[in-house]
Amino acid sequence: MADKEWNPQEEASGGPRFDWIGTTLASAGTAPDTEREPGAALAGRDATDGIDLLDAYSRAVIGAAEKVSPSVVFIEAFHKEEKAARRKEQGKLPPGEAKPDNADPGDGRRPGEGMENQPRERGGTGSGFVFTPDGFILTNSHVVHKATRIDVALLDGSRYEASLIGDDPDTDLAVIRITASNLIPARLGDSQAIRVGQLMVAIGNPYGFQTTVTAGVASALGRSLRSTSGRLIENVIQTDASLNPGNSGGPLVNSRGEVVGVNTAIIRPAQGICFAIAVNTAKQVASQLIQKGRITRGYLGVGGQDIPLHRRIVRYHNLEREEGILVISVERGSPAHQAGLREGDVIVSIGEQPVSGLDDLHRLLTEERIGVKTSITLIRRFTEMITFFVQPAARRPD
């Protein structure tokens, strides 16, 4: 950090001033100071305009932060760890437990005796925000997934134990709930209305520093991000508003104080490349999680791999895409097995819609297709094109 920050107001009125053109003219004796007054006035007006722009930017960030900060919460989630002895063998003992054998348990046992069978809890932190007056909180799935206990701290310092309503690793979203009064819900905006270059404000708790505010712009829209479950999250917002571990689940806000995204990921080696799940996606997922506690998606029971198709095969079968899904395994008793799919088949369409890979297949296996007879077209032995009918089942939760 610099020893002294640059102050445009100080520079414009009485502070150090660098007017290179004026200095050159004065030293040459070609123009008196009075003839430089229009230029000086113009320079002063430019500086004032710069200050006004800075103030407008500051007002937008301050306004957004003041509107949303009361809704932002600090989340501490506890998960069961492996047994201490197993972690020790794997070299995964966390800090503070690296030498359990040196600790005296104080109950007559030898140091470390019995430790190998005691379950332990590991705490992780993240962010979230209240989005309904009755205590529903939106956050990331990876923050609270399989948590044994979830604690929530509000801006005023009050703490509550939260219950997990549901989480969806495929979109990295989760809903938890606390019972508290006088909650201030954040206003949800429309992520479809975002434009590249628009001001974005991120609020969260990086490294436990509660209600930290950073600002940037929407760097890009419509990105795709691979979730921890392997599925593709679409319509992701890229921003350069700084995010750090602990920001996960916090809101990404526009200048009107409306939540337009849920902060979820960063690229560690890079600077200024951060991602948020679009709030329109979050609205749909949160609604289903509140109603049913989980997201229901279709399931075929195949393991697959994206492969390119030879041009001769594409022309011979008049295919719309030059890629397909190679079936590498079929689960016994699954919808795919019952329909007659085999290892080595190449899926090229489902429901009369062409597919280029597993991401297309996941996108098409929606809840609406569960139990509905759906056509699936494949190429067998690269010479025979066959259409089967399959009834996707509901995917079992992880």
Parse the chain into domains and list their residue ranges: 188-292, 298-394
Residues 6+ apart with CB under 8 A from 106: none
Q: What is the mean pLDDT of residues 98-107?
A: 40
Query: Which CATH superfamily does the domain covering 188-292 fall into?
Result: Trypsin-like serine proteases (2.40.10.10)
Q: State the pLDDT confidence band at 82, using cuts at 50, 70 and 90.
A: low
Give the whole-angstrom CA distance, residue 11 versus residue 45: 13
CB 224: neighbour CB atoms within 10 A? 11
Is 96 a residue whose pLDDT tops 60? no
Res 277: pLDDT: 95
Give per-residue pLDDT as tens, 150-207: 999 999 999 999 999 999 999 999 999 999 999 999 999 999 999 999 999 999 999 8
Task: For the full predicted model, state whether its pTM sits above 0.85.
Answer: no
What does the DSSP 8-state code read for residue 81?
P
Determine the Cα–Cα distance for residues 394 and 398; give it in Å rounded to an integer: 12
CB-hemisphere CA count at 13 Å for 88? 13
Q: What are phi and psi of 164, to 5 degrees?
A: -85, 115
Contacts of 192 (CB under 8 A, 6+ apart): 278, 280
Give the alpha-carbon dihedral of 298, 300, 305, 311, to 10 degrees.
-100
- Give the integer Cα–Cα distance in Å for 137 and 71: 9
CA–CA gap between residue 345 and residue 386 (Å, rounded): 10
CATH class of the 298-394 domain in this structure: mainly beta
Q: Could you give the residue numbers annotated as active site?
A: 142, 172, 248
